[in-house]
Amino acid sequence: MKNYLLIVFGSFIVCGTSWAELFLGVKEIDPGISLTFEVAAKDHILPSSFYLSQKDTDVHVEMLAVWNESAPAGSVVGGFVAYLKVAGELKNQKTGEILDFELTPHINLSDNLHYAQNIKLPGLPDDPYRLKFRVSPPEQGSLGMHLDWVMDFGEDLIRSHKIEFTNLDLSEIAISTRN
């Protein structure tokens, strides 16, 4: 009963946010990294000259990347895995129109550091969409690696991964706002 109450309380916190959020899935990759994919409500992102304004945005595409229990020694479980390269491709499955974008580091009070982008849908909100992510290791030279790490895990922080979600209905997220 106690657990049940905790679960109810937990979901109350989630519903306590006034905006909709579509959870797509989690992928575990080596070495001990959990990637969580979500589509969230549009938001005002600063500095405004670098991001699509909230009024021109339909949805905020996000990927959380954190160390999990299988992570190498020295990693903080739940800590942000930085310097990954994250590309997104959103395809309108009805018209074939494609939007390519980059997910860059963002910070807020709910997820802390994460990779994300404000985007405009390539079509109508109720068209079906396919969302592909390509997650790649840091650009050469952007992350220095000590010999102890390289000896155990090699010179690439991660291998490249492609993750795909199809037949997404983004209509509810597209009309949702955070204020």
- Residues making contact with Zn ion (CB under 5 A): 62, 106, 116
Taking the CA atoms of 50, 60, 92 and 137 in sequence, report the sign of the dihedral they define: positive
Task: Give the nearer residue to Zn ion in terms of CB position, either 58 or 62.
Answer: 62
Report the nearest approach of Zn ion to the CB of residue 68 (Å). Answer: 20
Task: Give the nearer residue to Zn ion in terms of CB position, either 31 or 34.
Answer: 34
> Burial of 133 by CB count in 10 Å (0-12 exposed, 13-18 middle, 19+ buried)?
buried
Task: Give the nearer residue to Zn ion in terms of CB position, either 18 or 70.
Answer: 18
Task: Give the nearer residue to Zn ion in terms of CB position, either 93 or 104.
Answer: 104
Q: Which residues of 73-87 are buried (b: 16+ CB within 10 A; e: fewer)?
A: eebeeeebbeebbbe
Report the nearest approach of Zn ion to the CB of residue 43 (Å). Answer: 7
Ordered DSSP codes for 141-177? TSS---HHHHHHH-S-SS--EEEEEEEE--HHHHH-B
Report the nearest approach of Zn ion to the CB of residue 5 (Å). Answer: 30
**Spatial distance between the Cα atoms of 103 and 63, rounded to a whole number of angstroms:** 8
Report the nearest approach of Zn ion to the CB of residue 106 (Å). Answer: 4
**Cβ contact 127:120 at 8 Å:** no
Residue nearest to Zn ion (CB): 116
Task: Give the nearer residue to Zn ion in terms of CB position, either 110 or 166.
Answer: 110
